[in-house]
């Protein structure tokens, strides 16, 4: 099973930042934190991933705590199209114990107009 804990749902006002938390207290040193989202039964969409350092791309920012036991995905200006289920997944890197992604139930983010 997925080694992460996420709130089942969150609301966010359109135009505001959405901060999605994830706990992964049993993460190992060589495991990455990946974020995907799934919009209404479409294929999971890759958002961002990180190991230790904070990461930013055109979609989002990922803040990983120093002890790596939790992280936060930040969507800086949420729009209605960001309404989706967001999955936080811990995964081994190259040569890791498993290459696959194990999905949990994620967080349903509802962006409100």
Exposed / middle / buried, residue 77 (Cβ in 10 Å: 0-12, 13-18, 19+): exposed
Q: Does position 102 bind another protein by CB under 8 A?
A: yes
Minimum Å distance from CB 110 to another protein? 17
Q: Select the span of 12-20, 51-59, 65-73, 98-106 touching another protein (CB under 8 A).
A: 98-106
C-alpha 54: how far from chain center = 13
Q: Does position 44 bind another protein by CB under 8 A?
A: yes
Q: Does position 45 bind another protein by CB under 8 A?
A: yes
């Amino acid at each position: 099973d997925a080694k992460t804990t996420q709130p089942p749902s969150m609301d966010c006002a359109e135009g505001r930042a959405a901060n999605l938390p994830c706990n992964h207290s049993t993460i190992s040193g060589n495991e990455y934190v990946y974020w995907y989202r799934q919009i209404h039964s479409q294929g999971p969409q890759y958002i961002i991933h990180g190991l230790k350092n904070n990461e930013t791309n055109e979609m989002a920012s990922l803040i990983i705590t120093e002890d790596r036991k939790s992280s936060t995905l930040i969507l800086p200006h949420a729009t209605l199209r960001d309404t989706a289920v967001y999955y936080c997944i811990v995964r081994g890197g190259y040569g890791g114990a498993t290459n696959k992604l194990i999905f949990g139930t994620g967080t349903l983010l509802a962006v409100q107009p």
